[in-house]
A = this chain, B = another copy of it.
Amino acid sequence: MTQEHQILAMPGMTVENLRAKCATCSMHQLCLPMGLDMGDMDKLDQIIGRRRKVVRGGTLFRIGDPFTNLYAIRLGHFKTYQINANGSEQVTGFQMAGELLGMDAISADRHHCSAEALEDSEVCEIPFSSLEQLLRDMPTLLRHFHRMMSQEITREQSVMLLLGNMQATQRFAAFLVNLASRYEARGYSATAFQLRMSREEIGNYLGLTIESISRLLAKFKKEGLIRVSNREIEVLNPTKLKAITAGTEVCN
């Protein structure tokens, strides 16, 4: 059952309603499966601020910016990164349409990372103070918001696992498997997709160098696991890729 089907299984939900709502803001895509009814959705609509386009390479927010909004990605891809004390970057994540940005900023009212668009993108601004007010009257939304924050925590924990005790091959396999499953959850192909980020950004995220990524790509290609052409990826053997990720298959 795809996410769309889950959404349509909601009481009172029609394809037209769904289209109309989802067109407004990806926050709806996030909220619909959680049991929000149409009345709740309308209230949510009212607090959602303006849409904002961000061109490829443009920044949505920077480290240190005062925190006022969360951002729901409507369209496109982003990366978030931190800057080390010595000036070096660390990519902390890649986000796609339907995901929420800026939750790390709540703790200190300042953004702790920067967000940059990997392609021309569009977001909805969600003024956090309005959202928090709304959360008080809408238990379902409150619950959902907490789930989203918690999900971000678990996501980061799995990256810690990746960086903490996986070898290069396993890390890269895990990266591809993760991307594939996220595209699949959004109704796109899990076996053919485009990398929106550069080799350098992938390497930075995985704690590897650009050369290592290049070599791993070549290796997977040689072993018949994937087909690669520039940033175009086709997964030929998802099972084995998952086995490598799990550490079942020892890759040499």
A246: interface (CB < 8 Å): yes
A24: interface (CB < 8 Å): no
Q: How far is the CB of A51 from chain B (nearest CB, A)?
A: 24
Complex Cα–Cα for A132 and B149 (A) = 14
- Note all chain B residues with C-beta closer than 8 A to A91: 164
Q: Which of A137-160 contact B (CB under 8 A)?
A: 137, 139, 142-143, 146-154, 156-160
Q: Interface code A90-108, partner B: CB below 8 Å = 1, 0 otherwise? A: 1110000000000111111
- Note all chain B residues with C-beta closer than 8 A to A157: 82, 92, 104, 112-113, 156
**Given A147-B106, A156-B157; A164-B205 close (CB under 8 Å):** yes
Cβ-defined contact, A151 with B205, below 8 A: no
- Note all chain B residues with C-beta closer than 8 A to A161: 82, 84, 90, 92
Q: Which of A234-250 contact B (CB under 8 A)?
A: 245-248
Cβ-defined contact, B85 with A248, below 8 A: yes
A59: interface (CB < 8 Å): no
Cβ-defined contact, B248 with A107, below 8 A: no
- Note all chain B residues with C-beta closer than 8 A to A82: 157-158, 160-161
Interface residues on A, range: 35 or more
A252: interface (CB < 8 Å): no
A229: interface (CB < 8 Å): no
Q: Interface code A197-214, partner B: CB below 8 Å = 1, 0 otherwise? A: 000000011110000000
List residues of A whose CB falls within 8 A of some B CB. 82, 84-86, 88, 90-92, 103-108, 112-113, 132, 135-137, 139, 142-143, 146-154, 156-161, 163-166, 204-207, 245-248
